[in-house]
Amino acid sequence: MKDSLVLLSRVPAHPDSRCWFLAWNPAGTLLASCGGDRRIRIWGTEGDSWICKSVISEGHQRTVRKVAWSPCGNYLASASFDATTCIWKKTQDDFECVTTLEGHENEVKSVAWAPSGNLLATCSRDKSVWVWEVDEEDEYECVSVLNSHTQDVKHVVWHPSQELLASASYDDTVKLYREEEDDWVCCATLEGHESTVWSLAFDPSGQRLASCSDDRTVRIWRQYLPGNEQGVACSGSDPSWKCICTLSGFHSRTIYDVAWCQLTGALATACGDDAIRVFEEDPSSDPQQPTFSLAAHSRQAHSQDVNCVAWNPKEPGLLASCSDDGEVALWKYQRPEGL
Amino acid sequence: MASPFSGALQLTDLDDFIGPSQDCIKPVKVVKRPGSGVARIHIEDDGSYFQVNQDGGTQKLAKARVSLNDCLACSGCVTSAETVLITQQSHEELRKVLDANKTAAPSEQRLVVISVSPQSRASLAARFQLNPTDTARKLTSFFKKIGAHLVLDTAFSRNFSLLESQREFVRRFRDRANSSVALPVLASACPGWICYAEKTHGSFILPYLSTARSPQQVMGSLVKDFFAQKQGLTPDKVYHVTVMPCYDKKLEASRPDFFSQEHQARDVDCVLTTGEVLKLLEEEGVSLSEVEPAPLDGLSSSTSAEEPTSHRGGGSGGYLEHVFRHAARELFGVHVDEVTYRPLRNRDFQEVTLEREGQVLLHFATAYGFRNIQNLVQKLKRGRCHYHYVEVMACPSGCLNGGGQLKALDMPNRDLLQQVESLYGMVKVETPEDVPGVQELYDQWLQGESSERASRLLHTQYHAVEKASSGLSIRW
């Protein structure tokens, strides 16, 4: 396990503030970071070092909590505590604000683009999840307002290939949504966590969903379609989701983020104990009851809570992390031998 | 517990995190008694408070209660705890008044008037498998059996809401060159929409709202002003209950604009949802289908009918349809027979246009449900709203699908809604201009269509709610 996670670079991305979130662009060449200083910075490599290519300093009145790139890589969405979500269009050297999505009652906690690029989801402390549709003229319209959660919604993420949306909340549940006729409905509620669910990540196939929580566990959920071989009951035509694995005893504090590498299947976590951990699925384990082993553990990855971990979509093993200490760190992960 | 209020109201009003500095400023009436000296308070073992007077006599003090009205007057920190209170309170309140009437002296008794909305009636009709006429007659009979004196139909007061809406639109359309906020006119009969608009968009949106009162509140004026006077009673001696398809109507009845300072009485004293009426029936051990029907009442001899009546244009009142047909006639001399609705991005967002030689003369829309309200307001803010009139309702599918309607027992909600819509549509339709009794009331009660009385009793105002901006109210 030693040397399986090596630090490549550390950057003071949001000095005197927190760095809340990171997002790699689809090409894997740029890393967007956002923070409590209300700014968004775009990082790229120049030789061996990471430099700040752009700063977006106007646009939000309060903390920027999350950023997300569109599937085409030309747009960046930013979710802010000022209750708005901005959509930025990437031009040659800069970013220009295309529109500001308003409507949430208070802090927007997350934003995510659907794989088709036509839909956007946002969620907020106002307990709602909103689905937006964008047309060819970059006009955004609200398509649905979902009030299924009973508390603050922390994160939204789309399935890698289907128009299926997942949300995580302070109400300890994960909910899934899909389109039905001319509206969106909650088609599943995943219960099991004993405290706030902070983040979610789908596996490369989209059949499994990882959730991480304030209860210091990571849970893996699997989708069972109606008529499945394993005999898992489904109601109507909606798939059922069952918790097939719980990773407990590894984290000593709240787990704020989980990231599932779409290239290698490795699972990374960001923890309130300042550490980053990487888990690998045991190749011989039963797919219905998988086991995961701790493959890397960087105890003092940052000097404060780690808020986000993000795998580079093109370069296997390249992991970015950020922390309350305002720094962004880049790591090289190598699967240990004999694991 | 899922909130029973409309989606629009939920997002703005419910807030369980009350900041430490938000004092409850309930306007308590202080009764000053003659004599000096400070009263002493004694607390019994059971926790009850007694005031000990100077002469040694004791008086049990009533527990301070913060009611829904008080909270709204304060600028609204309606928490989910309060919503539980409201939802369980109203039919018990009615019971208390009916029981008090039984034992009170004749001069202390209150005349109980119950106004039933056609939407609630349709919901009950579906549940009990009755036609609308039988439902109306049986409800009249049931309410009278438990102590009500008069049972009315808010479809009658809706005539006034529709007529006032029609006239207002034509006036504002003709005035559009002089005012940047003349158009669009936004329908205002839905309190879920109004509370959201006042709280979230405040002074920006208020000028666009129609000032015509909703059928519930026009009935309030009719019962507490016209009817009470006819009976020789002051408004506080009449207890006016309405039966509505949603909880948001309870908030509308509590608005200070519908409270008479002079008589210290509300135009509508109590709002029951359709579900609460069902509770009343269940508590009486009565199935509506078994009740012996009674003849229908009216406010006067010229207004009572053999069967209930309704209006065209859908289950939310028909505002768009009536304003459109009237405007087409008044402004362009066009007689519109059937109004054609064109659904846009979803079925709760539909468009209606009047065209002549390729030119659009009138462009109207319906916007039901929070997502469509959102899009409408955002377009309005960006100057991209091309509609002249929008019928805005907070509930998807409109009032027939309100949060207080009876839920489906053994069928999908969609199927029940279709049944309720079809029962609603079965009722004979009337044109407000032709309804007997309406013109009479304009002439005799209001002294003319454009009179000061008509303006005061058939219209209302809106108020932007300022958000508290103290440092302590910041949400962390």
pLDDT of residue B10: 58
Q: Pick from B10, B200, B475: which is nearest to A147 by CB? A: B10
Is A142's CB within 8 Å of B371's CB?
A: yes
DSSP-based three-state secondary structure for B331? helix
- Residue A175: closest CA among A159, A158, A188: A188
Residues A297/A310, Cβ–Cβ less than 8 Å = no
| φ/ψ (deg, to 5) at B51 | -95, 130
pLDDT digits (tens, 9 = 90+) for B10-23: 555 444 444 444 44
Which residues in chain B have Cβ-Cβ distances shorter than 8 Å to A97?
none
- Residue A219: closest CA among A167, A169, A174: A174
- Three-class SS string for A198-230? EEEEECCCCCEEEEEECCCCEEEEEEECCCCCC
Which residues in chain A have Cβ-Cβ distances shorter than 8 Å to B396?
183
Where does residue B450 rank: exposed (0-12), middle (13-18), buried (19+ CB within 10 A)?
Answer: exposed
pLDDT of residue A92: 87
Q: Which residue of A has its CA nearest to B12?
A: A105
The distance of A143 to chain B (nearest Cα, Å) reads: 6
Q: Where do the H-state alpha helices sit in B261-352?
A: 274-283, 319-332
The distance of A126 to chain B (nearest Cα, Å) reads: 7
Tell me the C-alpha to C-alpha distance, in Å, between residue B283 and each of A2, B137, B250, B278, B326: 72, 20, 22, 9, 45
Residues A112/A153, Cβ–Cβ less than 8 Å = no
Residues in chain A: 339
For residue A279 the two structure tokens come to 């888990």
Kindly report the number of other CB atoms within 10 A of residue B302's CB atom.
Answer: 13
Is B346's CB within 8 Å of A142's CB?
A: no
pLDDT digits (tens, 9 = 90+) for A238-255: 899 999 999 999 999 999
- Residue B197: closest CA among B252, B124, B129, B235: B252
- Residue B263: closest CA among B292, B305, B221: B221
Q: Which residue of B has its CA nearest to A132?
A: B371
Q: Where do the H-state alpha helices sit in B263-388?
A: 274-283, 319-332, 370-381
CA B300 – CA A61 distance, rounded (Å): 60
Buried b (16+ CB within 10 A) or exposed e, A292-321: bebbbbbeebbeebbbbbbbbbeebbbbbb
Which residues in chain B have Cβ-Cβ distances shorter than 8 Å to A144?
371
Tell me the C-alpha to C-alpha distance, in Å, between residue A302 and each of A270, A274, A275, A305, B271: 10, 5, 7, 7, 58
Q: Are strands B185-186 and B389-393 parallel, antiparallel or unpaired?
A: parallel
Q: State the 10-residue block means of pLDDT for chain B, 476 residues long.
A: 59 48 47 60 71 70 56 45 56 90 90 97 97 97 96 97 98 95 96 92 94 98 95 95 95 92 93 95 95 91 82 97 98 96 94 96 97 94 94 96 94 95 96 93 94 96 73 48
Which residues in chain A have Cβ-Cβ distances shorter than 8 Å to B370?
145
pLDDT of residue A230: 87
Q: Pick from A107, A126, A141: which is nearest to B11 by CB? A: A126
For residue B106 the two structure tokens come to 């004749």
DSSP-based three-state secondary structure for A172? coil
pLDDT digits (tens, 9 = 90+) for B179-235: 999 999 999 999 999 999 998 888 999 999 999 999 999 999 999 999 999 999 999
Q: Pick from B7, B12, B346: which is nearest to A145 by CB? A: B7
Which residues in chain B have Cβ-Cβ distances shorter than 8 Å to A175?
none
Does A185 reach chain B within 8 Å, measured CB to CB?
no
Alpha-carbon Rg for chain A, nearest whole angstrom, is 19
